Chains A and B, each alone.
Chain A
Amino acid sequence: MRLLVLLWSLGPLLWQLRTSLLRPEALVAPLLEGNPWTLANYQLVLSGDPPFWRYLANSTLVGLATTLLTLLLAVPCAYGLHKERGPLRWGVGLALVAAAMFPTVLLFLALLEIARSFGLANNLLTLSLPYTALSLPLAVLLLRAAFADLPGELEDAARLEGLGLGQRLRFVLLPLLGPALASTAVLVFLASWNEYAIALTWISRSDLLTLPIAIARIGGGSVFTIPYGAFAAATVLGSLPLLLLVLLAQRSIVSGLTRGAVKG
């Protein structure tokens, strides 16, 4: 059973791994004589113009900037929402749920206009602005649930000690929020790493492309045939960081969602 599940999840990826290590001739003629294995596909991808690690770096940069900005905006918002008792609590909450479900692709045209009129295009840091907005709803919902889980007396005690709001957040609440922050950060990072429609329309310089676009362009921009070996190598290289991240953060992703997603 376990094997079956693993085969389903990893089979296609393992096939890409195999493809990436085969000589192009071996791909079309399975019974080729001689050693069919090669690292040439990886060399090709890494020595391209721009080299493949450039896309990885671009995606990482956007991901980090988005994660940082999202947390900077989401923490105060979640705290405020947690404290809010009026009708806004209900309204903002519902709006956040609606925004979290919104299909991103429907936004691209208006965002493209914004990018053009404010000169935000072709810049990885400004790209993190819409990404932050896309991640904010889920982040706020998760963090608000985390705030709600903290014992209220703690903050009251700190207030009596004379700590201001900033100090309370910094020294009392945020440290306790560590796991929730971590899982939120991972989810935000993943979302921005994988975003397609907006990156497709905001970035036109090939040295600034993010990973999903760069990879799609290898295939969509096929000349006569798609260089499947090189492409598979790109897939593997692009998957490795995520494999690492998921292995490391698996526990906090699950626990974060347990606490937040539905309750939040």
Chain B
Amino acid sequence: MKSRTVTLLLMLPALLLLAAVFLYPMLRYGWLSLQASSVLTGLVPVPNGGANWGRLLDDARFWTDAGQTLRFALCSVILELLGGLALALLLHRPLRGRGALRALTLLPWALPTTVMALGWRWILNDPHGPLNAAIHSLGGSSYGFLSTPATTWFFVVLADVWKTMPFVALLLLAGLQTIPADLEEALRLEGASRFQILRRLTLPLLVPYLTLALLFRLAQALGVFDLIQVLTGGGPAGSTESLALYAYLNAMRFLDFGYASTVMLATFLLLLVSLGGGWLLLRRHGLERTTERAA
């Protein structure tokens, strides 16, 4: 049994660190969410008999934000999957300068979110940003893209798609490379069109990769924070506020750690439910195989 002990010891340091950073916070939030820990208690936790959870249920802002976050996540993830698939198919083809093309299309993903969030703010600036400049030169009058809920929401999604689409493409590219070229060749010899090949061969084989990208991106998008904090600050009038931003405000602006913990834990639970939903939906499509291999 000695080698077993050795493998356990090898894993132990990493697992300890992971437990400290992932597991401990969740347990801590669970405990804090049952306490009042705020400026009114001098930041000292005092049990408050579940008042935080009662407040959560009646907190219109929380539920509005939950809806907004979910809507944002679904829209941006679907667009990212479609765009990422197209991009991956393009990058997979033997083009001249493919390496450079891959690197350059990857760049938006490699940049810090905040960097381009401010870049977008300038591009959408009213009235001096390039978008408004273009509208001006066409004879229109400038438009406050970031002071109208609908357009603001659209551009938040766009900025997210712009940044993370390359990542999805990368995952799918990896999948494409596992598809044997001779299978495709065989189908072509049978006279299948490019679209038929895509439908009958490529997509079915990509399903595990698409599923992985979907779940991974969905989880990340439901926790969206830095993009929204820098691009819109949650505005206008709270119309782009995400759950993570609300939790952040509760902790850092209101100094209400009990309720902030409640919001974070509730966000985590909503995330589990959403992912579980996605999981069940995609279960038939070979997902089990993927996760078994993943685990």
Contact present between A and B (CB < 8 A): yes
Interface of A toward B, CB cutoff 8 Å: 1-2, 5-6, 8-10, 12-13, 15-16, 19, 27-28, 30, 73-74, 76-77, 79-81, 83-84, 86, 88-90, 92-97, 99-114, 129-130, 132-134, 136-137, 140-141, 165, 190, 193-194, 196-197, 201, 211-213, 215-216, 218-220, 226, 228, 231-232, 234-235, 238-239, 242-243, 245-247, 250-251, 253-254, 257-258, 261-264
**Residue B100, interface by CB 8 Å:** yes
* Contact (A97, B295) CB under 8 Å given A213-B114, A216-B229, A246-B103: yes
Contact of A76 among B11, B22, B291 (CB under 8 A): B11
Contact B261 A238 (CB under 8 A): no
User: Can you sample 8 A-B contacts with CB below 8 Å?
Assistant: A80-B7, A92-B11, A93-B294, A104-B223, A132-B17, A201-B252, A254-B170, A262-B294
* Contact (A80, B212) CB under 8 Å given A239-B115, A254-B173: no
Contact B128 A84 (CB under 8 A): no
Contacts of B166 in A (CB 8 A): 9
Q: Which one, B146-154, B191-199, B264-272, is touching chain A? A: B264-272
Contact B174 A261 (CB under 8 A): yes
Q: Which one, B60-68, B181-189, B243-251, is touching chain A? A: B243-251
Contact B244 A262 (CB under 8 A): no
Contacts of A97 in B (CB 8 A): 291, 294-295
A134 to B22, CA, bound (A): 9
Contact A257 B170 (CB under 8 A): yes
* Contact (A141, B7) CB under 8 Å given A103-B220, A103-B271, A220-B230: no
User: Which A residue's beta carbon lies closest to that of B161?
Assistant: A8
Nearest 10 A/B pairs, CB to CB: A103-B223, A110-B25, A80-B10, A133-B21, A93-B295, A77-B14, A196-B226, A250-B103, A80-B7, A76-B10
* Contact (A261, B107) CB under 8 Å given A196-B113, A254-B170: no
Contacts of B251 in A (CB 8 A): 108-109, 112
Contact A216 B100 (CB under 8 A): no
- Chain B proximity of A221: nearest CB distance (Å): 11
Contact A246 B133 (CB under 8 A): no
Contact A99 B18 (CB under 8 A): yes
- Chain B proximity of A147: nearest CB distance (Å): 12
Contact B171 A246 (CB under 8 A): no
Q: What 16 new A-B contacts, CB under 8 Å, besides A77-B14, A88-B8, A109-B261?
A: A1-B90, A6-B104, A9-B162, A12-B120, A13-B107, A81-B11, A101-B216, A101-B220, A107-B21, A109-B25, A196-B113, A197-B248, A212-B226, A215-B114, A231-B122, A238-B115
- Chain B proximity of A126: nearest CB distance (Å): 13
* Contact (A99, B11) CB under 8 Å given A250-B103, A254-B173: no
Interface residues of B in 193-235 (CB under 8 A from A): 208-209, 212, 215-216, 219-220, 222-223, 225-226, 229-230, 233
